Amino acid sequence: MGLPAEEPKKIDPGAPKWVVTFGDLMSLLLCFFVLLLSFSEMDRQKYKQVAGSLEKAFGVQRKVRVMEIPKGMKIIARDFDQEIIETRIREDLGKEIDDMLSTQLEEYKDQIAMESNESEVIIRLMGESTFDSGKVEIREKLKPLLERVAKVLEKDNGDIVVAGHTDNVPIRSGGPYPTNLRLSIARAAVVAEYMLSHSAIDAKRVSTMGFGEYRPIESNQTERGREMNRRVEIILSNLPPVAHDNR
C-alpha cells in the first residue's frame, strides 16, 4: 500500500481586500481633520462666554475671585482669561471716552479718538484739546477724562507709553521751549505725571517720549493735518517684554 497523500496546508488568507482601502481612507480623513484644526481660528471671547453659561446652567461654583488665576490652571485657560481682560479694557476705555464726548467734551469730539489692535490700545488727544498753543498746562476740561482713563488702566498690567507730538510750525522765540521736540517731551511728561497722581497705576509701567514734528500722521500742508499732528498719545501695550542678552 502506498502512503496516504498529504493534505495541502491551509494558507491564511489574511484580512479582506477592502480593509486596505478602508485603512487608507481613515488615514486620509485623519490628515484632513488635522489640517482643518491647524487652519481654524477660535473666538476666545465667545468660547469663554459659552463656557460661563454652561457653568451656571449646571450649577458649577467657583470659589476664587474671577481676576485670580487658580493654581495649576492650564496655560490655554489663562490665555482665555487674558483675552477677556484685554477686551474689557478696550470696552471700558471706549465707553469712558464716548460718555465724556457726549457730555462735557462735545466740543472736542473731532480731536479725541481711540484705536486698538491685537498688541496695543492708543488714545489720541489731538489739536488743542489738551493744551493751549505752546503751553504745557492741561486744560481743566480734559482733566476728568485723563483721570477716568487712568482708573481704567489700573486694571491692566501692560506698559503705558505717553508720547508727545507736534506739527512742523516753528516755536516762537522767547518761550520756555525753544523747539517743538522739547515742547512735545514736556507735554508727555505732564500728562504722565497727572495720570500717576490721580490713580494707583504702578509708576514702573509708565514711560514718556517726545517726537516733536518728526512722526506726523497727516500732512502738515493743511490746517486739519497740522491739528491732528499736534497730539498726545496714551498707548497701552500688551506686547511681551524684550529679552535682553546678558553676554
Q: What is the pLDDT of residues 106-154, one digit of tens each?
A: 888 888 888 887 778 889 999 988 998 889 999 998 999 899 889 888 8
In a domain, 50, yes or no: no
- The residue that leads in pLDDT, 139 or 173, is 139
**Whole-number mean pLDDT of the chain?**
78
Q: What's the domain range around 155?
A: 75-237
pLDDT at 242 over 50: no
Phi/psi of residue 163, nearest 5 degrees? -120, 130
Q: What is the pLDDT of residue 2?
A: 56
Spell out the residues 6+ positions from residue 139 whose beta carbon is closer than 8 angstroms to its own.
Answer: 128, 129, 130, 131, 132
* Side chain identity at residue 119, one-letter code: S
Q: What is the pLDDT of residue 208?
A: 96
Domains held by the chain: number: 1
In a domain, 225, yes or no: yes
Number of residues written out for the chain = 247
Quick one: pLDDT band at residue 28, thresholds 50, 70, 90? confident
In a domain, 103, yes or no: yes
In a domain, 166, yes or no: yes
Specify the DSSP element, H or E, that contains 126.
Answer: strand 120-126
| CA separation for the pair 170, 156 (Å, rounded) | 38
Sheet with 112-116: list strands edge to edge.
112-116, 120-126, 231-237, 159-165, 206-210
| CA separation for the pair 128, 148 (Å, rounded) | 20
Q: What is the pLDDT of residue 244?
A: 45
In a domain, 170, yes or no: yes
Quick one: pLDDT band at residue 3, thresholds 50, 70, 90? low
Dig out the grid coordinates for 42 from the structure.
477660535
pLDDT at 185 over 90: yes
Q: What is the pLDDT of residue 210?
A: 96
The CATH number covering residue 165 comes to: 3.30.1330.60
pTM above 0.75, yes or no: no
In a domain, 122, yes or no: yes
Q: What is the pLDDT of residue 52?
A: 61
pLDDT at 166 over 90: yes
CB 180 within 8 Å of CB 230: no
pLDDT at 27 over 90: no
In a domain, 144, yes or no: yes
Please give the average per-residue pLDDT across 174-181, as a whole number.
Answer: 88
In a domain, 70, yes or no: no
